[in-house]
Structure 1
Amino acid sequence: MTSEDNQEHYLVSRMPFQQAGAAEVLRAAQKDKGFLDHLKSCLSEIVQRSAGTKVWLDIHKHAEILCEFIYYCLTTLCLHQTLGEEYTGVLQVDHSKRKLPHTFKRVTMVILQCFGPEVIRRLLSKLEDSTRSGKLSGYLRPDLKNIILHQMPTLKYSLTLLHRIHLASFYFTGAFYHISKRITGIKYVLVREWFGDTSASKSFQILGLVLLTHILLTTVYTAYSHFFIKSSSESTQSSTKCFVESKKQCPLCLDERKHSSVTPCGHLFCWQCIQECLQTCQQCPLCRHSALPSQVVPLLNYD
Structure 2
Amino acid sequence: MPFQQAGAAEVLRASQKDESFLDYLKSCISEIVQRSAGTRVWLDIHKHTEILCEFVYYSLTTLCLRQTLGEEYTGVLQVDRTRGRLPNTLERVIMVVLKCFGPEVIRRLLSKLEDSARSGKLSTYLRPELKNVILQQMPTLRYSLTLLHRIHLATFYFTGAFYHISKRVTGIKYVLVREWLGDSSASKSFQVLGTVLLTHILLTTMYAVYTHLFVKPPPENTQPSAKCYVDSKKQCSLCLDERKYSCVTPCGHLFCWQCIQECLQTSQQCPLCRHPATPAQVVPLLNYD
Q: Are 1:248 and 2:226 an aligned pair?
A: no
Q: 2:192 aligns with which of 203, 206, 209?
A: 206
Q: 1:149 aligns with which of 135, 138, 147?
A: 135
Q: Which residue of 2 aligns with 1:296?
A: none
Query: Following the alignment from structure 1 to structure 2, what is the Cα–Cα distance between the partners of residues 51 and 134?
Result: 38
For residue 224 of structure 1, report the CA deviation from its aligned partner.
Answer: 2.0
For residues 46-61 of structure 1, the aligned pairs below 5 Å read 46-61=32-47
TM-score w.r.t. the length of structure 1 is 0.76
Q: Are 1:22 and 2:13 an aligned pair?
A: no
Q: Are 1:237 and 2:223 an aligned pair?
A: no
3-state DSSP class of the match of 2:5? coil
Q: Which residue of 2 aligns with 1:78?
A: 64
186 and 127 in structure 1: CA distance in 2 versus 1, 3 angstrom threshold: same
How high is the sequence identity, in percent, across the aligned residues?
Answer: 72
Amino acid at match of 1:175: A
Query: Following the alignment from structure 2 to structure 1, what is the Cα–Cα distance between the partners of residues 89 and 82?
Result: 15
Q: Which residue of 2 aligns with 1:300?
A: none
Q: 2:275 aligns with which of 290, 293, 300?
A: 290
3-state DSSP class of the match of 2:9? helix
For residue 220 of structure 1, report the CA deviation from its aligned partner.
Answer: 1.3
Query: Following the alignment from structure 2 to structure 1, what is the Cα–Cα distance between the partners of residues 126 and 271?
Result: 31
Amino acid at match of 1:158: S
Name structure 1 gaps, 5 residues minimum. 1-14, 250-256, 269-281, 293-303
Moved segments of 4+, more than 6 Å: 282-285
Alignment: residue pair count = 251
238 and 45 in structure 1: CA distance in 2 versus 1, 3 angstrom threshold: closer
The answer (yes or no) to whether the contact 2:3–2:175 under 8 Å persists in 1 is yes
Q: Are 1:227 and 2:213 an aligned pair?
A: yes
TM-score w.r.t. the length of structure 2 is 0.80
For residue 246 of structure 1, report the CA deviation from its aligned partner.
Answer: 11
For residue 47 of structure 1, report the CA deviation from its aligned partner.
Answer: 0.4
The answer (yes or no) to whether the contact 1:61–1:289 under 8 Å persists in 2 is no
Query: Following the alignment from structure 2 to structure 1, what is the Cα–Cα distance between the partners of residues 185 and 223?
Result: 59
The answer (yes or no) to whether the contact 2:43–2:252 under 8 Å persists in 1 is no
Q: 1:173 aligns with which of 156, 159, 163?
A: 159
Query: Following the alignment from structure 1 to structure 2, what is the Cα–Cα distance between the partners of residues 258 and 157?
Result: 24
Query: Following the alignment from structure 1 to structure 2, what is the Cα–Cα distance between the partners of residues 66 and 213?
Result: 37
